[in-house]
C-alpha cells in the first residue's frame, strides 16, 4: 500500500473522530483491518467478524497495532510495517486473563478524549462501525485499481469454470470448481451459489445441492482478495435459450441498466430503490421487486448497504456498487465503480454474451445467457 493511501484513510478517520469528539478508535473487524492496511489480514478464524489483532488510530493521526506474541511476529513480516503502525505486543496469557485487557492497553495509548471501537468489544465502549463505514465508501486511486484487477480476474475465473462445465455435474461439484479456480488466482469465494434448472426459479439464494444440471445452470459468486469483494452471476443454457428466459433476462438487464445509470454521487438509496421499482414496472414485472433485494454499495463487505424505501445512504464518488436485479428464473449481476463519466463495470467475463440497454441516452451492458 502506498503511503498516500494510508495517509488518506488515516485523515478520514481523524475527521470522523473530530466530528464524534473522540480521542481514538480501535479497529478489530477483519474488513476494517483489510481496509486500513490496504489488503492486510488479521483473520485466523474466518468464521468470526473479529480478527486476531487490533489497529488503533488516535485523533492526532498516530497509529498502533496491538497483538499478542502469537500473532505479532507474522503481522510485522507479512501484513503491515512497524513504520506505519507502532507495535504494542503482549502475552497471550495476559490477553486471555481479562476480558478488557486489550481495551485497557488501547486506552493507555490515548493522549486525550474517549476511545471507541468499530464493532462491539466491550459493552461499556461506544461502537462506531456505521461512522467508519462512511470512511470506507469512496475508493482511493490505488484501491480502485486493485478492485479493477480483482473484478477482471473474478470475471475470467467464472468464465474458465463455465468452459469446463459438463451437463450432469451436481451443483456442489460446480461450486467446488468455482472455489478451486478462485484459489488458483489468490481469491476466495465468500458467497458461492449454484442453481440447476428449476432451482433457479425456486430460490433466490440457491445454496449448492446434490442436484445435477440438465439444461440450465446459474453460478453466483462474491470473490474476495485483499479484503475487497466483487459480485457477479452467470447463467448457462444447453442449446437454444428459451424465449421466456431470454425475455425475463432482458427485463432484468433493463433494471440493472437503470440502476447503473442512477448510481451517481448524491443519489440516495431510497431514490435508487424507486428507480428499480419503476424499471420493473416498465417491463411489466412490478411484483418481482418484492422477492429479493436489488443489491447496493460494495467494497470490503459483499454489500456495504442495500437500497430500500427508507434508505438515507448517499452515493459517493469512486464508490463500488453491485446490483443484482432478478426475475423469477433469472438474474443479472455485475460490480461497477462510480466515476465522473458514469459507472465502470469491472467484472465482465471474456467471451460471454452481453445485453446492451440504453437508458437516458447511455448504453449499459449486462451479462446475457451463454448457449452451449
What residues contact 198, with CB distance under 8 A and at least 6 apart?
none
- Calpha distance 285→366 (Å, rounded): 18
User: 360: phi > 0 → left, psi -120 to 50 → alpha, else beta; which?
Assistant: left
Does pLDDT of 340 surpass 90? no
Answer yes or no: are the C-beta atoms of 229 and 243 closer than 8 Å.
Answer: no
pLDDT of residue 47: 86
Answer yes or no: are the C-beta atoms of 166 and 200 closer than 8 Å.
Answer: no
Does pLDDT of 224 surpass 80? yes
pLDDT tier for residue 2 given thresholds of 50, 70 and 90: confident
CATH topology of domain 141-371: Creatine Amidinohydrolase (3.90.230)
> pTM for this structure?
0.96
Stretch 107-136: mean pLDDT: 96
Look at residues 369, 325, 372 and name the one whose alpha carbon lies nearest to residue 219. Answer: 369
Q: Supply 145's cell numbers.
A: 485499481
Mean of all residue pLDDT scores within the chain: 97
pLDDT tier for residue 156 given thresholds of 50, 70 and 90: very high
What residues contact 96, with CB distance under 8 A and at least 6 apart?
none
Does pLDDT of 126 surpass 80? yes
pLDDT digits (tens, 9 = 90+) for 18-42: 999 999 999 999 999 999 999 999 9
- Is 44 strand, coil or helix? coil
pLDDT of residue 23: 98
pLDDT digits (tens, 9 = 90+) for 317-329: 999 999 999 999 9
- Calpha distance 320→298 (Å, rounded): 5
pLDDT tier for residue 43 given thresholds of 50, 70 and 90: very high
Q: What angle do CA 5, 265, 231 make, to 5 degrees?
A: 70
What residues contact 351, with CB distance under 8 A and at least 6 apart?
159
Does pLDDT of 367 surpass 80? yes
Farthest-apart Cα atoms in the chain, separation: 68
Domain 3-136 has CATH 3.40.50.850: no
Strand partners, 222: 191, 231
Q: Where are the domains of the chain?
A: 3-136, 141-371
Answer yes or no: are the C-beta atoms of 355 and 333 closer than 8 Å.
Answer: no
Stretch 74-80: mean pLDDT: 97
- Calpha distance 283→264 (Å, rounded): 23
- Calpha distance 114→116 (Å, rounded): 7
How far apart, in Å, are the Cα atoms of 48 and each of 7, 30, 37, 52, 272? 28, 9, 19, 10, 32
Amino acid at each position: 500500500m502506498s503511503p498516500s493511501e494510508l495517509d488518506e484513510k488515516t485523515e478520514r478517520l481523524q475527521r470522523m473522530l473530530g466530528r464524534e469528539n473522540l480521542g481514538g478508535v480501535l479497529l478489530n473487524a477483519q474488513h476494517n483491518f483489510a481496509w486500513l492496511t490496504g489488503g492486510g489480514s488479521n483473520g485466523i478464524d474466518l468464521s468470526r467478524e473479529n480478527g486476531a489483532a487490533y489497529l488503533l488510530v488516535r485523533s492526532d493521526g498516530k497509529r498502533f497495532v496491538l497483538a499478542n506474541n502469537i500473532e505479532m511476529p507474522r503481522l510485522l513480516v507479512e501484513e503491515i510495517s512497524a513504520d506505519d503502525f507502532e507495535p504494542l505486543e503482549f502475552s497471550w496469557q495476559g490477553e486471555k486473563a481479562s476480558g478488557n485487557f486489550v481495551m485497557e492497553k488501547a486506552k493507555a495509548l490515548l493522549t486525550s478524549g474517549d476511545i471507541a471501537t468499530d464493532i462491539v468489544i466491550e459493552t461499556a465502549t461506544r461502537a462506531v462501525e456505521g461512522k467508519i463505514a462512511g470512511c470506507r465508501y469512496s475508493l482511493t486511486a490505488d484501491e480502485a485499481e486493485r478492485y479493477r484487477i480483482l473484478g477482471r480476474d473474478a470475471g475470467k475465473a467464472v468464465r474458465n469454470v463455465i468452459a469446463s462445465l459438463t451437463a450432469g455435474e451436481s451443483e456442489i461439484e460446480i461450486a467446488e470448481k468455482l472455489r478451486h479456480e478462485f484459489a488458483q488466482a489468490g481469491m476466495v469465494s465468500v458467497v458461492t451459489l449454484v442453481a440447476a434448472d428449476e432451482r433457479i426459479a425456486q430460490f433466490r439464494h440457491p445454496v449448492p445441492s446434490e442436484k445435477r444440471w440438465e439444461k440450465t445452470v446459474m453460478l453466483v459468486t462474491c470473490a474476495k482478495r485483499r479484503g475487497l469483494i466483487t459480485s457477479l452471476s452467470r447463467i448457462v443454457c444447453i442449446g437454444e435459450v428459451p424465449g421466456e428466459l431470454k425475455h425475463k433476462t432482458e427485463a432484468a438487464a433493463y433494471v440493472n441498466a437503470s440502476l447503473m445509470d442512477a448510481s451517481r454521487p448524491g443519489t440516495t438509496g431510497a431514490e435508487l430503490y424507486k428507480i428499480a421499482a419503476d424499471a420493473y414496472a416498465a417491463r411489466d414485472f412490478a411484483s418481482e421487486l418484492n422477492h429479493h433485494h436489488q443489491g447496493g454499495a460494495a467494497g470490503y463487505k459483499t454489500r456495504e448497504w442495500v437500497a430500500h424505501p427508507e434508505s438515507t445512504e448517499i452515493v459517493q464518488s469512486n464508490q463500488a456498487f453491485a446490483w443484482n436485479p432478478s426475475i423469477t428464473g433469472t438474474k443479472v449481476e455485475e460490480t461497477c465503480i462510480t466515476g465522473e463519466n458514469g459507472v465502470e463495470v469491472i467484472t465482465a467475463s471474456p467471451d460471454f454474451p452481453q445485453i446492451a440497454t440504453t437508458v437516458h441516452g447511455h448504453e449499459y451492458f449486462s451479462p446475457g445467457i451463454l448457449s452451449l
